[in-house]
Amino acid sequence: MAIRVQLDRVLVERRMSLTELADRVGVTVANLSILKTGKARAVRFSTLDALCRELECQPGDLLVYEPGPGGFEDDGEG
């Protein structure tokens, strides 16, 4: 997938653990771990809003678009 999550980088910059963020946001550590490792297929706007609020960042600080060699990655869903 061409969208990469940079939650780990933002957590390091904020000196915050995944557990602390999970407590603040009200999401399980397991779900945040799935997001952090790039295995999530979707993110709710309410979750993204809570992450940005607690990490004091913008959505673009957490999500980055990196196209593949052809400039477009087809995930077969469309």
Q: What is the pTM of this model?
A: 0.82
Instruction: Map out the domains of the chain with their CATH numbers.
Output: 3-65 (1.10.260.40)
* pLDDT value of residue 43: 95
Buried b (16+ CB within 10 A) or exposed e, 38-68: eebeebeeebeebbbebbeeeeebbeeeeee
Q: What six digits make up the tokens of 60? A: 């673009």
Q: Which pLDDT score, from 0 to 100, does residue 28 have?
A: 97
Looking at residue 72, what is its pLDDT? 53
Walk along the chain (78 residues) and give the pLDDT tens digit of each residue: 789 999 999 999 999 999 999 999 999 999 999 999 999 999 999 999 999 999 999 999 999 999 877 555 555 554
Q: Tell me, rounded to whole angstroms, the distance of Cα 28 from its chain centroid.
A: 14
